[in-house]
Amino acid sequence: MAGAPSSGRDPLIDSTVDGRWRILHQLGVGAFGTVYLAERVGLGRQVALKLLHEEYSANNEYVRRFAREARALSRLQHVNCVSVLDVGSHKDRPYIVMELVAGAPLTEELGTPAMTTARAVALIRQVLLGVGHAHGHGIIHRDLKPDNIMITELAGVGEVVKILDFGFAHINDARLSQSNANVVPGTPSYMSPEQVHGIKTDPRTDLYSTGVLLYELCVGVRPFAAAEAFELLRMHRDDPPPPPRTAAIGRQISEPLERVILQALAKNPDERYPDAAAFIAALDATPEGREGRGGAARRKKLVRYGVVAAIIVLASAAIAVATHLR
């Protein structure tokens, strides 16, 4: 996770949680919890520690929701999903310790010249890989948006997407309490029609939100915009999205990619892709998808060639030294 420290002095700064995690400064404040930069006492390993807001710690529903996020994260072991390292309670406030993701939120890349359609497809492909992994563990994110997606760099691989914040996750486990029926999970700009209706969601809800992300990255604007949240939700429920190729300004979007985006944004879940794997396959078949995959393959090939070249250089040096010593 990344962010900037808050301006006010937080009484938790420099305190130690459970004798293990020393809090350094705030990274960000959300609706239900505060995320801190912390380090493991004695080891110095830096992590992101999310602590439920004090005013919610006496509310069983919010405590259960927080516990649900911890449960969700603990199931996920995937390069495109943030990993949970520890859970506990500090002065009756539950917390989650997660890996610290160095990078920038997808929000900072929106509308930049560097966000080509090929790069957009490549990034969304990684989102779908992470989402598909979560779905395979019975977890629906339900709040996919640019703020919850980090872009980091991995040596020898390039850009890597990390999905954060499973605070609204729905887990298909009858033993766990579900969200309050009066709470509509999600963020209006990225909510699926079924979320707007308040009916049961399934993995295709995340595919709709991912479709909104793909539209926004490729076109440069979201499919729907309104001053009032109520009107925005109505548009997700009732209005067809403007065709990406028409709405895009100064961007080239192929017809196959437009078809993929519009299918992901179908109002009826049955008309969307059945799962993340099918969505990925459709993206890979587009010109932008082939371009993005080709670039990734070339980068991997260059890395392999670099390793081989390094071995050859080292071997040649060793031979030269051995010859000199004779």
Starting at the earlier edge strand, list the strands of the sheet with 104-105: 104-105, 149-154, 158-163
- What are residue 123's phi and psi, to 5 degrees? -70, -45
Residues 6+ apart with CB under 8 A from 267: 193, 237, 238
**Cα–Cα distance, 143 to 162 (Å, whole number):** 14
- Are the C-beta atoms of residues 81 and 163 closer than 8 Å to each other? yes
- Are the C-beta atoms of residues 232 and 226 closer than 8 Å to each other? yes
**Cα–Cα distance, 24 to 11 (Å, whole number):** 11
Catalytic residues: 143
16-17 and 84-90 strand pairing: unpaired
